[in-house]
Amino acid sequence: MSDTATPAARDEVGPLELLVVQPTPFCNLDCSYCYLPNRTDTRRMSLATLDHALAWVANSGLVRDPFSLLWHAGEPLVVPVAWYEEAAELLRRRGEHWQVVQSFQTNATLIDDEWCRYFLRHQIDVGVSVDGPAFLHDRHRRTRGGKGTLDRVLRGIETLNANRIPFKVITVLTSESLDYPDELFDFYREHGIGSVGFNPEEVEGPNTASSLQEDGTVPRFRRFLARFLELARSADPPLQVREFEQSAAALLHARHAGPPRRTQENRPFGIVNIDCEGNFSTYSPELLGVESTRHGPFALGNVASDSLESVLASPRFARMEAEVAEGVRMCRESCRYFPFCGGGPPGNKHFENGTFASTETLFCRLHMKSCLDVTADWLERHPPAACATDEVAT
């Protein structure tokens, strides 16, 4: 599919790579930079709605390759294990032939042995959100009463470690974090964390400003990343850094491949996001539950009533897709990083620039350009003999 052609049929969209399902919008924490607009809402997805959702996915024709099912967009562990046991049974029935990896992105405060048994039984990938030592983590990740949460998060991490459940960590980087790469490195080592991804604090949803928007952030971010990468790669065993692995893979892939196709996030229905009522959207997960003056709600329909065909035929989707495609075209024409990136995330473009038909965002400057530059620099200084290319290219 070209950048700007409007997909008319379902075989021109997808394939599904990531299915984000929101068991509940509720979160037991109240982090200062959270993008979720309804995190006090205690509704829970009914099993009937989940069954509709899985049937919708099965009937959509989007499942053509293995994909990931991420339980997120709220704290997924506030919904009890019993619900997920029934969900697993529905998934087994509706997706008998699917190759699907389930994952949870959790704040870890509710993890106990029962959850660990569930994770093991269903081979769940676990991602934990933790921002480092208390002076960084507790600044932003707080309860509604304003208390820090690191102690509870670490108890969850200890439980995962005690049950020998591998997990990855996502750390949100704010402006103050950029001064503390060594302290973050020590924190990860101390708590048995072997894999980390850095999300820069983004302007998304209700989080209308980021500490990283201040002048001078880009060189600080690069300095931070270069320092952290040096520590992580020289550790024994090395600490896996998602940004390094993704950037290295992009750099190595770009040498061998032609022009990149659109990404999971800016290709229609590469991602499907389904909220607890069965409303679904595509593109960036952060768009679900949000609306704009031009497009109205970004939710395109409901799994109980709207087929993929009907959505693809709707003028609203056509307008949305045309704008996203135009944004990708603009990225392709104006950005020398496009061969490694494939175009910026529509969510960031909408929240920062007010339109999908735009180019650079804070996310681009930090998470794409800076990471690619720092990784390229590292790879140049550590020629292949000293660098396990099979490891970085995964």
Can you tell me which residue has the tokens 């008319």? 8
SS3 276: coil
**Residues 215-274, interacting with other proteins (CB under 8 A):** 223, 227, 231, 235
Closest Cα partner for 141 from 50, 55, 254, 28? 28
- Asked whether position 211 contacts other proteins by CB under 8 A, the answer is yes
Q: Which stretch binds other proteins (CB under 8 A): 132-140, 263-271, 338-346, 368-376?
A: 132-140
- Asked whether position 112 contacts other proteins by CB under 8 A, the answer is no
- Give CA–CA dist 96/111, Å, rounded: 28
Nearest approach in angstroms of CB 386 to other proteins is 16
Tokens linked to 99: 């190759």
- Asked whether position 11 contacts other proteins by CB under 8 A, the answer is no
φ/ψ bin of 268: left (φ > 0), alpha (ψ from -120 to 50), beta (otherwise): beta
Shorter beta-carbon distance to other proteins: residue 112 or 190: 190
Decide if 144 contacts 101 (C-beta within 8 A).
no
Shorter beta-carbon distance to other proteins: residue 195 or 211: 211
Per-residue mark of binding to other proteins, 189-208 (x: CB under 8 A): xx------------------
Nearest approach in angstroms of CB 201 to other proteins is 9
- Asked whether position 32 contacts other proteins by CB under 8 A, the answer is yes
Closest Cα partner for 116 from 92, 106, 169? 106
- Asked whether position 133 contacts other proteins by CB under 8 A, the answer is yes
Residue of 41, 158, 186, 306 that binds other proteins (CB under 8 A): 186
- Give CA–CA dist 338/368, Å, rounded: 10
Decide if 14 contacts 270 (C-beta within 8 A).
yes
- Give CA–CA dist 301/391, Å, rounded: 41
- Asked whether position 30 contacts other proteins by CB under 8 A, the answer is no
Shorter beta-carbon distance to other proteins: residue 30 or 277: 30
- Give CA–CA dist 163/176, Å, rounded: 33
- Asked whether position 140 contacts other proteins by CB under 8 A, the answer is yes
- Asked whether position 180 contacts other proteins by CB under 8 A, the answer is yes
Decide if 367 contacts 217 (C-beta within 8 A).
no
- Which positions touch other proteins (CB under 8 A)? 32, 133, 135, 139-140, 176, 179-183, 185-186, 189-190, 209-211, 223, 227, 231, 235
